[in-house]
């Protein structure tokens, strides 16, 4: 059987340009008054940091830029913020809920 | 530390319903396939009983108002409905996350493009086997079904729609499990559900021909666990084991009427797709009441909410808030009373007897299938 596109694991790096795919929708649930991520068969409830990261992740800006912006906003320890951001994005990527538009920045 | 909380398990069940999260819309019971484990009820709805397009549009408008976030279009085969694309679009416009659960035998490039353009979020295709076309088609009861599914899956990936492969497993195809996993990878699926048949309705009628042996199950579990590790980041695998071989019953649907409901083709609101099998319960219809009223006040939905309805041994059990006594449909099907403890639980007085029988059946070599059909099904021809 001819294969279509066999997937490869997404490794999140500083140059990654992450974005949620069609099947992982971040939206504000007006009835419950909270943000949710809708994925097949489940609903994920992101905390405030996750919401902030994912609202920045538009497929155009890099992970490095996301880290810069959060570091500036919170005047926090850049290394700690970088670890948190990459861990969150890698976790989503491992579950198939994150695309990396990489160098092309489509 | 950032954290994502998954809502697929919850601690407590409540007599007062919270808002429902997801709805399974059975658009029709019509289907070109005749699978012997079909999850539709033994008493199948007729086309003439189905909700109209206008009914569905109104129902879809009501869903977000009561808190529903996700709508799964299912059947039967939902693509038999001419209005599916229109309803997918309508649901998306209402803010719902849309998923299509399909056999895919009616999907072609034109239909896939229309669904993608309408905003469909996700597609799930069931497979009856791996690459053994004839064997998969025999289970589906439809010649040519497997090749059509493969072609449809390719169209879906070419349209960049995300795909889940649903591999329905039982004694007659468990030896194909490694190939089923390869198939999901080759098709570019992001997710694979390895779902052992659950023995209600049609599947219960076919239990003697389908139930795996304990050895088969243990081997399957090893294969799945190895694949989960090997395919991290490539394919997410969800695994549903048959509760016949568990010591504890499953937490069915997160509790009766807790955060999920099913709408049958004729508009009845059920806590799950199998609940119509429980005789003596009268389910309310979207033809007669607004959904908000049904969710809060339907006597059938309130019947097994909370824990007050429980009998011994559930009533005083320390697990009662965890598994809620298991599955009401299975309790009814196997003991005749839905209030009884699900016999999947080792604490059920019927557990030993029922599961000893199932284990005996698993060791026999019965293969003949009872296909789903109106009027009690059709036996596979012999030889």
**Chain A neighbors of B186, CB-CB under 8 A:** 1, 3-4, 6
Shortest distance, CA B98 to any CA of chain A (angstroms): 9
Supply the DSSP symbol for A43: E
- Give residue A105's pLDDT band: very low, low, confident or very high (50, 70, 90): very low
Supply the DSSP symbol for A58: B
Mutant choice from B1, B2, B194 vs A, greatest count of A C-beta within 10 A: B2
pLDDT digits (tens, 9 = 90+) for B344-359: 999 999 999 988 888 8
Query: Is residue A63 within 8 Å of A15, Cβ to Cβ?
Result: yes
Query: Is residue A30 within 8 Å of A69, Cβ to Cβ?
Result: no
Could B6 and A42 be called an inter-chain contact, meaning their C-beta atoms sit closer than 8 Å? yes
Question: How far is B305 from B129, CA to CA, in rounded Å?
Answer: 38
pLDDT over 60 at B69, yes or no: yes
Structure token pair of residue A105? 């920045």
Question: How far is A24 from B191, CA to CA, in rounded Å?
Answer: 13
- Give residue A2's pLDDT band: very low, low, confident or very high (50, 70, 90): very low
B35 annotated ligand binder: yes
Q: CB count, 10 Å around CB of B315?
A: 13
Could A8 and B234 be called an inter-chain contact, meaning their C-beta atoms sit closer than 8 Å? yes
- Which is more confidently placed, B74 or B7? B74
Question: How far is B288 from B83, CA to CA, in rounded Å?
Answer: 22
Share of chain B above pLDDT 70, in %: 96
In terms of C-beta density within 10 A (0-12 exposed, 13-18 middle, 19 or more buried), how is residue B178 classed? middle
Measure Cα distances from B223 to B25, B100, B217, B227 in Å: 33, 28, 10, 6
Q: CB count, 10 Å around CB of B61?
A: 14
Section B247-264 average pLDDT: 89
pLDDT over 90 at B87, yes or no: yes
Could A91 and B69 be called an inter-chain contact, meaning their C-beta atoms sit closer than 8 Å? no
Could B4 and A94 be called an inter-chain contact, meaning their C-beta atoms sit closer than 8 Å? no
pLDDT over 80 at A74, yes or no: yes
Q: What is the ipTM of this complex?
A: 0.88
**Chain A neighbors of B229, CB-CB under 8 A:** none
Q: Mean pLDDT, chain B, as a whole number?
A: 93
Angle between helices B145-158 and B109-117 (to 10 degrees): 40
Q: Find the CB nearest A45 among B7, B124, B162.
A: B7
Tell me, what's the pLDDT at B1? 40
Q: Which of residues 18-57 of A touch B (CB under 8 A)?
A: 21-23, 25, 27, 29, 31-32, 36-38, 40-47, 49-50, 53
- What length is written for chain B? 383
Question: How far is A98 from A88, CA to CA, in rounded Å?
Answer: 10
Q: Name the residue among B94, B9, B73 with its Cα closest to residue A45.
A: B9
In terms of C-beta density within 10 A (0-12 exposed, 13-18 middle, 19 or more buried), how is residue B240 classed? middle
Domain coordinates of chain B in residue numbers?
18-376
- Give residue B7's pLDDT band: very low, low, confident or very high (50, 70, 90): low
Residues in contact with B206: Cβ distance below 8 Å, sequence separation at least 6, in sequence order: B36, B37, B369, B370
Supply the DSSP symbol for B255: S
Tell me, what's the pLDDT at A9? 83
Tell me, what's the pLDDT at B251? 82
Q: Decide the pairing of beta strands B260-263 and B269-270.
A: antiparallel
The whole model's pTM is what? 0.94
pLDDT digits (tens, 9 = 90+) for A13-70: 999 999 999 999 999 999 999 999 999 889 999 999 999 999 999 999 999 999 999 9
Q: Go through the domains of chain A in sequence order and give each one's CATH number.
A: 21-100 (1.10.10.1150)
Instruction: Please tell us whether the domain made up of B18-376 is placed in CATH 3.20.20.70.
Output: yes
């Amino acid at each position: 059987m001819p294969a279509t596109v066999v997937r490869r694991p997404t490794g999140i790096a500083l140059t990654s340009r992450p974005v949620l795919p069609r099947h992982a929708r971040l939206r504000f649930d007006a009835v419950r008054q909270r943000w949710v991520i809708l994925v097949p068969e489940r609903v994920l409830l992101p905390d405030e940091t996750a919401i902030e990261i994912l609202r920045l992740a538009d497929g155009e800006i890099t992970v490095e830029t996301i880290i810069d912006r959060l570091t500036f906003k919170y005047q926090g320890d850049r290394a700690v913020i970088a670890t948190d951001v990459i861990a969150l994005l890698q976790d989503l990527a491992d579950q198939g809920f994150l695309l990396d538009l990489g160098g092309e920045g489509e | 530390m950032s954290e994502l909380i998954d809502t697929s398990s919850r601690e407590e069940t409540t007599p007062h319903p919270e808002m429902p999260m997801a709805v399974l819309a059975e658009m029709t019971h019509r289907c070109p396939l005749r699978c012997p484990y079909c999850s539709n009820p033994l008493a199948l709805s007729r086309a003439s009983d189905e909700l109209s397009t206008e009914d569905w549009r109104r129902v879809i408008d009501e869903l977000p108002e009561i808190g529903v976030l996700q709508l799964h279009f299912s059947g039967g085969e939902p693509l038999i409905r001419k209005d599916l694309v229109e309803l997918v679009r309508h649901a998306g416009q209402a803010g719902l996350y849309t998923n299509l659960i399909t056999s895919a035998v009616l999907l072609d490039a034109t239909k896939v493009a229309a669904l993608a353009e309408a905003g469909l979020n996700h597609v799930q295709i069931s497979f009856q086997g791996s690459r053994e076309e004839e064997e998969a088609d025999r289970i589906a009861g439809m010649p040519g079904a497997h090749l059509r599914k493969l072609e449809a899956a390719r169209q879906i990936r070419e349209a960049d729609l995300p795909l889940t492969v649903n591999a329905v497993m039982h004694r007659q195809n468990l030896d194909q499990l490694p190939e089923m996993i390869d198939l999901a990878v080759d098709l570019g699926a992001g997710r694979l559900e390895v779902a052992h048949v659950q023995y209600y309705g049609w599947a219960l009628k076919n239990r003697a021909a389908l139930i795996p042996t304990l050895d088969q199950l243990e081997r399957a579990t090893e294969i799945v666990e190895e694949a989960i590790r090997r395919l991290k980041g490539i394919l997410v695998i969800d695994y549903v084991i048959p509760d016949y071989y568990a010591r504890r019953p499953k937490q069915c649907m997160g509790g009766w009427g807790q955060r999920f409901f099913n709408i049958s083709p004729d508009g009845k609101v059920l806590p799950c797709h199998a609940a119509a099998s429980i005789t003596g319960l009268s389910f309310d219809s979207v033809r007669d009441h607004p959904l908000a009223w049904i969710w809060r006040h339907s006597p059938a939905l309130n019947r097994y909410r909370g824990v007050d309805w429980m009998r011994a041994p559930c009533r005083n059990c320390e697990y009662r808030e965890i598994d809620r006594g298991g599955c009401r449909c299975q309790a009814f099907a196997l003991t005749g009373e839905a209030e009884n403890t699900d016999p999947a639980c080792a604490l059920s007085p019927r557990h030993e007897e029922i599961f000893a029988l199932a284990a005996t059946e698993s060791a026999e070599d019965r293969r003949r299938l009872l296909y789903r059909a109106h009027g009690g099904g059709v036996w596979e021809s012999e030889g």
